[in-house]
Structure 1
Amino acid sequence: MNSYRVPQLAKKYTDYDMIRQHTEIPSFPDSRARLLQVFVGRTDEKVHDELYALATSLVQLAMDTHDRIDTISGERREQEMRSRQLNVLAGDYLSSRFYQLLAHAGRIEMIGKLSGAVSEVNARKMTLYERMKKLLVSAEEYLRETVQLKMQLFLSFSDMIGSKEQSLWNSLLSEISCCEMIAEELRRMNDDQNFYHSYAFWHIYEHGNDDEQKWLRQPEMDARTWSRMVLKHRIGEVLLDKLRDCTRRIQQLLQDEENPLGLHEFDAILEPYLTYLQPSHAAVRED
């Protein structure tokens, strides 16, 4: 297996001044890309392990960038309009790079598989978004469905992975996708500009009182009110408990594995999530 350098390779496609000036590229799917490279590196397709990890990551970034396009009608300031237009263009650009990379390498069949996965993700998103608009989603359903959305592109490679490792691949992909999702939600819980329809939103709506539910149904909410509810419902502790459970399950899966899968790579995968679990980690403080 090649040494892991996928995020550095991706910068060739993401580090453009215009994009960074007017919008923001979503978080790189680093953990899933590492995992994919580990497993593909143990197959007959190992020569393409880096290519597959890079191409799939670019597709994921493209979809995540498109997800940032707001659907609110009405007038917008020039900066907001430009940011919206750049989200559209940046997502389209990243998607086109995935096609180019795989076509250039002659991996046409993977273009078809990943394109099919994109369609499946979009269909699943629409079902989830419809339920979210009607406020019919529980916090656990939201987390479960968003983890499935994170997994879908990477599941395109399941047929490539040997039958003896299929179960481990699926379990690790699920747990690692969950870790990535929880880390995102830990950041979102303190972002009063980006809390709407987050895990914290659904947890508070599910467990909150009538006044809190009324606040959450409003199109806008002041930062102080949001922070107060996050503190009251101990959202950080809830999410950290879930993250702790995920990392323990990953460690147990690796301990049970008779033929270790490049354990140094899993140390790198787990490191940022274990850091969140340190008592002094400032990013999850709720004070």
Structure 2
Amino acid sequence: MNSYRVPQLAKKYTDYDMIRQHTEIPSFPDSRARLLQVFVGRTDEKGHQELFALATSLVQLAMDTHDRIDTISGDRGEQEMRSRQLNVLAGDYLSSRFYQLLAHAGKIEMIGKLSGAVSEVNARKMTLYERMKKLLVSADEYLRETVQLRMQLFLSFTDMMRDEDKSLWNSLLMEFSTCETIAHEMNRMRDEQQMLHSYAFWHMYENSNDEERSHLRQMQIEPRIWSALVLKYSVSEVLLDKLRESTHRIQLLLQDEAELQGLQEIDAILEPYLSYVQPSHAAVRED
């Protein structure tokens, strides 16, 4: 199947009035899903690439939705409580759809692999969160671990890949997961609801003085202080540099694979990230 329509197919499971009214579904794992569809389309499982991309994306959305559930104690308003409950229910619902899709297609082995990957992700998250609670995480460690968490579900398909594709698949998955993570962190940096313990937080905490660290340790840092620190420590520039490096590595990988079937599709996955770092970039590849 040449066309990429996984996000549209996923809306059948995510576009419910109850969900949209009381909570928000996280960003779709578009780059990873699209990359998975390309590489599975080159295997003996060709014909199931769309199914695998959809099912894996639903699992990812379920986990990301559960991650939105905060653990802050204390009284809550009715709307806040309802939103929290809907995050739980929405995550559980999306997980159930993944099982249903793969079971209906007879892909029981893939259910086991993805379920195992979910357990691995949760274990890694717990380790990371424990270090975060103790303020022991560096900015680079946070970014590296977050990228690994984004990759884990999709790595479940590596054994399915053709031997000659495995190295490129793993490298591109890491780089596109890095691009997705950086784009997400750039948005978090500007969102008062998500800025704490974002990449920006760890970068500033790592480089700040004692007084600034004291502000950062507060669970509700004043927006004006946050904005001043973001500017002082050039967080946007740091993230853009990292994104630029990752897109450059992707371009080098693709140059080495000029005959790869699906190369044009991978170029399309890369294009949005190039627009971040090269606003005037023309979508033309030099052979």
User: Which residue is equivalent to 2:243?
Assistant: 243
State the partner residue of 2:14.
14
Aligned to 1:118: 118
Query: Match of 2:166, SS?
Result: helix
TM-score normalised by structure 2 residue count: 0.96
Distance in 1, matches of 2:20 and 2:258, equals 45
Give the SS at the match of 2:48.
helix
The match for 1:66 is: 66
CA distance in 2: counterparts of 1:193 and 1:104, whole angstroms = 39
In structure 2, what residue type is equivalent to 1:159? Answer: D
**1:153 & 1:240 partners in 2: Cα distance?**
26
d(CA) in 2 for partners of 1:118 and 1:21? 28
Q: Quick one: distance in 2 between partners of 1:142 and 1:80?
A: 28
Q: CA deviation at 1:219?
A: 1.5
Corresponding position of 2:173: 173
Letter in 1 for 2:171: S
Q: Counterparts of 1:73-112 in structure 2 under 5 Å?
A: 73-112=73-112
Mapped to 2, the partners of 1:278 and 1:37 lie a distance apart of 27
Residue range with higher mean Cα deviation, 19-28 or 189-198? 189-198
Q: Which residue of 1 aligns with 2:130?
A: 130
Cα distance between partner residues in 1 of 2:227 and 2:155: 37
Q: For residues 118-165 of structure 1, give each alpha carbon's deviation from its aligned partner in whole angstroms, at most 9, with x where no partner exists.
A: 000000000000000000000000000000000000000000001111
How many residues align? The count is 280
CA distance in structure 1 between the aligned counterparts of 2:268 and 2:79, rounded to whole angstroms = 38
Letter in 2 for 1:203: H
C-alpha distance in structure 1 between counterparts of 2:192 and 2:87, whole Å: 21
Superimposed CA distance per residue, residues 151-189 of structure 1 (whole angstroms, 9 cap, x where no aligned partner): 000000000001111110100000000000000011111
Separation in structure 1 between the aligned mates of residue 117 and residue 133 of structure 2, nearest angstrom: 24
Q: Cα offset for 1:266?
A: 1.5
Q: 1:279 deviation in Å?
A: 5.4
Whether the 8 Å contact between 1:2 and 1:50 is mirrored in structure 2 is no
Which residue does 2:216 correspond to in 1? 216
**Paired AA for residue 202 in structure 2:** W
Residue 185 (structure 2) pairs with residue 162 (structure 1): no
2:283 corresponds in structure 1 to none
Identify unmatched segments of 5+ residues in structure 2. Answer: 281-287
- Structure 1 letter corresponding to 2:191: D
Secondary structure of the structure 2 residue equivalent to 1:46:
coil
**Alpha-carbon contact 1:192-1:226 (below 8 Å) kept:** no
Quote the Cα distance in structure 2 between the aligned partners of 1:89 and 1:105: 25
Which structure 1 residue ranges, 4+ long, deviate > 6 Å from structure 2? none
Partner of 1:252: 252
State the alpha-carbon separation in 2 of the partners of residues 30 and 279 from structure 1.
Answer: 21
C-alpha contact (below 8 Å) 1:69/1:87 kept by paired residues: yes
Q: Which moved more, 1:265-274 or 1:148-157?
A: 265-274
Task: Mark the runs of 5 or more structure 1 residues left unpaired by the alignment.
Answer: 281-287
Paired amino acid for 2:265: E
Residue of structure 2 in register with 1:271 after alignment: 271
By how many angstroms is 1:209 displaced? 0.8
Q: Deviations over 1:46-97 (max 9, x none)?
A: 1100000000000000000000000111110111000000000000000000
Name 2:225's counterpart in structure 1: 225
Give 1:271 shift.
1.5
The alpha carbon displacement at 1:278 in A equals 3.7
- Superposed CA deviations along residues 94-122 of structure 1, whole A, max 9, x for unmatched, are 00000000000000000000000000000
The whole-number CA distance in structure 1 between the counterparts of 2:271 and 2:84 is 34
Q: 1:131 to 1:106 in 2, by over 3 A?
A: same
Q: Distance in 1 between matches of 2:254 and 2:79?
A: 48
Partner of 1:151: 151
Q: 2:196, 2:219 within 8 Å by CA — same for their partners in 1?
A: no
In structure 1, the partner of 2:284 is none
User: TM-score scaled by structure 1?
Assistant: 0.96
RMSD over aligned CA atoms reads 1.0
Q: Which residue of 1 aligns with 2:285?
A: none
